């Protein structure tokens, strides 16, 4: 039976990867990345991000499941499709006997591409050392060279594994600006990260991976609008024990912090219950209700007890 073609640039279906018989790195993972999308693959080190990327690129063989790029099985991607893919591995291995420029030119020749795009990207990375031997360069310098390598042949799909590791804040912003610029030209990005700030700044969609399992796929906008609020109540008088006890009895209240006349907490319960509780406090001086940061949401998905309450 002929496989059904999709519009997705990346399609991963029920991917499972074991190392040996007992170590499961990726467990029945399914996700898709659409054209012109910036997809953030979010999770801490060891969650299965790099293994997923390597299976997707055909660098590792999956134990079971399927991975496809542009409707081609990852195990047999044609050369003409590979030329349309840019890849920055998490641990860049660069040939030590090359200078930075020699390394870039060597890889550019493999794609039979002009150097126009290469020079455009190099100019953005102020301070990049292209005339020094690879073996003498810092991790940040190697990362910049790796990033140029991934984009210099003008690919349609760019896969980045922890792209800003080792870069200072200014260089990170350069990377973010370049990703946004390339997406406007129609490029698709799939990148792994444990940097919540960059995911929040860049991504259209986020997949959260935990212990090899994809626990949530959502747009950043929707993820930040989950039923979880950060609340701060400031009272005119000193906070009394009876009020603190009332807060502790309401379902959905967690992470409670209190001071002399202030109580702060996160809330994911029914809003009517919260309003009823607040109405019983007669001397509220100030009330602040905020959406949580992506970091707070992410940490909740890594809590067995709390992750169910965010659905």
Count CB neighbours of 147 within 10 A: 27
Same domain, 267 and 169: no
Same domain, 140 and 191: yes
Predicted pLDDT of residue 256? 84
**In this structure, what token pair is assigned to residue 90?**
């998490």
Neighbouring-strand partners of residue 88:
160
Same domain, 180 and 73: yes
Q: Is 254 exposed, middle or buried (0-12, 13-18, 19+ CB in 10 A)?
A: middle
**Mean pLDDT over the full length of the chain:** 87
Task: Give domain status of residue 130, yes or no.
Answer: yes
| Location of structure tokens 């059904």 | 4
Backbone angles phi, psi at 43, to 5 degrees: 175, 160
Q: Are 28 and 16 in contact, with CB atoms under 8 Å apart?
A: yes
Task: Give domain status of residue 309, yes or no.
Answer: no
Same domain, 133 and 30: yes
Per-residue pLDDT of the chain (311 residues; tens, 9 = 90+): 455 567 899 999 999 999 998 899 999 999 999 999 999 998 888 889 999 999 999 999 999 999 999 999 999 999 999 999 999 998 866 788 899 999 999 999 998 888 899 999 999 998 899 999 999 999 899 999 999 999 999 999 999 999 998 899 999 999 999 999 999 999 999 999 887 778 888 999 999 898 899 988 888 877 766 667 888 999 888 877 777 777 777 888 888 888 888 988 888 777 888 888 888 888 899 999 887 766 677 776 666 444 443 33
Same domain, 46 and 142: yes
- The residues, any chain, with a CB within 8 Å of residue 180's CB and separated by 6 or more, are 202
Count CB neighbours of 76 within 10 A: 8
Burial call 157-190: b when 16+ CB within 10 Å, e when fewer: bbbbbbbbbbbeeebbebbbebbeebbeeebbbb
Neighbouring-strand partners of residue 266:
230, 254
- The model's pTM is 0.77
Q: Are 38 and 202 in contact, with CB atoms under 8 Å apart?
A: yes
CATH number at residue 271: 3.30.70.260
Task: Give domain status of residue 307, yes or no.
Answer: no
The whole domain housing 19 covers 10-220
Predicted pLDDT of residue 228? 74
Predicted pLDDT of residue 225? 66
Count of structural domains, the chain: 2
Task: Give domain status of residue 311, yes or no.
Answer: no
Final residue before a domain boundary, out of 220, 240, 264: 220
Predicted pLDDT of residue 310? 38
| Alpha helix (H) residue ranges in 28-164 | 49-56, 79-82, 100-110, 116-122, 139-151
Instruction: Tell me the three state secondary structure of residue 258.
Output: strand
Report the C-alpha gap between 280 and 275 in whole angstroms. Answer: 9
Residue 24 Cα to chain centre, angstroms? 21
Same domain, 260 and 127: no
Q: Are 189 and 161 in contact, with CB atoms under 8 Å apart?
A: no
Instruction: Tell me the three state secondary structure of residue 236.
Output: coil
Report the C-alpha gap between 51 and 45 in whole angstroms. Answer: 11
Same domain, 250 and 180: no
Task: Give domain status of residue 305, yes or no.
Answer: no
Same domain, 132 and 195: yes
Q: Are 115 and 157 in contact, with CB atoms under 8 Å apart?
A: no
**In this structure, what token pair is assigned to residue 188?**
């698709």
pLDDT single digits (tens) 32-49:
999 999 999 988 888 899
């Amino acid at each position: 039976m002929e496989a059904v073609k999709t519009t997705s640039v990346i399609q991963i279906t029920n991917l499972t990867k074991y190392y040996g018989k007992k170590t499961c790195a990726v467990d029945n993972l399914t996700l898709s990345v659409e054209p012109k999308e910036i997809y953030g693959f979010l999770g801490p080190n060891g969650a299965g991000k790099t293994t997923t990327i390597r299976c997707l690129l055909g660098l590792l063989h999956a134990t079971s499941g399927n991975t496809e790029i542009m409707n081609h099985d990852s195990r047999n991607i044609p050369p003409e499709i590979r030329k349309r893919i840019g890849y920055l591995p998490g641990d860049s291995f660069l040939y030590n006997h090359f200078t930075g420029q020699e390394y870039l030119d060597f890889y550019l020749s493999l794609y039979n591409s002009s150097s126009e795009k290469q020079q455009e990207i190099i100019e953005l990375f102020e301070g990049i050392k292209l005339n020094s031997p690879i073996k003498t360069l810092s991790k940040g310098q190697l990362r910049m060279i790796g990033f140029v390598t991934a984009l210099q042949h003008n690919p349609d799909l760019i896969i980045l594994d922890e792209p800003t590791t080792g870069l200072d804040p200014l260089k990170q912003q350069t990377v973010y600006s370049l990703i946004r610029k390339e997406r406007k030209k129609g490029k698709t990005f799939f990148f792994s990260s444990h940097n919540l700030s960059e995911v929040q700044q860049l991504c259209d969609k986020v997949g959260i991976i935990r212990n090899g399992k994809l626990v949530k796929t959502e747009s950043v906008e929707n993820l930040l609008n989950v039923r979880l609020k950060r609340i701060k109540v400031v009272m005119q008088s000193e906070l009394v024990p009876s009020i603190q006890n009332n807060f502790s009895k309401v379902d959905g209240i967690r992470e409670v912090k209190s001071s002399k006349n202030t109580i702060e907490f996160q809330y994911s319960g029914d809003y009517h219950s919260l309003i009823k509780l607040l109405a019983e406090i007669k001397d509220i001086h100030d009330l602040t209700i905020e959406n949580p940061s992506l970091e707070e949401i992410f940490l909740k998905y890594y809590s067995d007890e709390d992750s169910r309450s965010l659905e």
